Structure 1
Amino acid sequence: MADANAQTGAFSSALGRSWWVILLFGILSIVFGFMAIFNPIGAGAGMTWAIGVLAIAEGLVTLLATFKKDVPMSKGWMWVYGLVSVLFGVLAVVNPVSMAASFVMVMAVWFIIAGVVRITMAIRVRKAIDNEWTLILSGLLAVVLGGCMLAMPLAGLLVAVIWIGAGALIYGVLQIYAAFQIRKLLR
């Protein structure tokens, strides 16, 4: 029992000394949240650019891995995946706003398909469940949202980035609160 208490105390002490890292994450999240809310096009382009850089890196690593003898999958598929990743990454880095709008288009099609599936499921199970209208309503809302996003992808991007920004603000506030709670472990 004493050994467990000593381990808990050591862990608490180590965690308490790193409270400032959590505080920094919180502050950065709040800064990003404000940027996303007040400049959603720039934030959306920035996120797309960062995803593009990651895609290029992953594609290059995948292509390099094809030269190893023991690879876990077909080298042909690895080449396809690596080349598509690099191509996508380059397009996202070169023109991040256009690629962000493409993301919205894919999301819009997904919303429409998901909405139709929900409506169909609600109709099929309407005798087995109560309040199937809620599934139908959520399906209709998904179809409408998807249609709006297809009709105006830039507006869809703006809304998505603003929601991400709002989430980042909430996350940042919670991180800052947690940092000061963890800091108390040093006392």
Structure 2
Amino acid sequence: MASLIGTISDHWWVPLLRGIVAVLFGFMALAWPVLTLGVLVLLFGAYALVDGVVAVIGAVRYRDRVERWWLWLITGVLGIVFGVLTFFWPGVTALVLLWFIAGWAILTGISEVLAAVQFRKAIEGEWLLGLAGVLSVLFGVALLVWPGAGLLSLAWLIGAYALVTGVALVVLAFRLRSL
């Protein structure tokens, strides 16, 4: 258990970096809500790709010290896959983009909730990772339930989601750092 706590606290920068990227992405989405679909696709693709790469690096680098490192790997691979898909299909319709974002958010959220459950006995503040996961799932479900929302609404929803999730990850990172 002490080894897991040391590993987690030594790598507090992983959720910090993910949180900072999410907050920056959220501010951009809120500042320019009338973005064209192409720009929105590229912003989402860049966010998902960077988030995925950081998660994969963290998973691979510490796979020998974290029991369920593969949860981070799954989260990262999903982010990379969805990020790359958006770059290869820039002319995608708003509805298909919405499905990509919803699927990515739901699967990432499930991975984060599972990771939080694993960490509940090892660290204090694991609920922040669980919160980020639950918010991701709720965000994805909301996109599926209300697909008729316009791009302006989608941009605001994405921005708010990214800001809240990013702040939760940043707070988690500093809690991990203090271990």
Q: TM-score, normalised by structure 2?
A: 0.43
Q: TM-score, normalised by structure 1?
A: 0.41
Larger Rg: 1
Greater helix share, structure number: 1
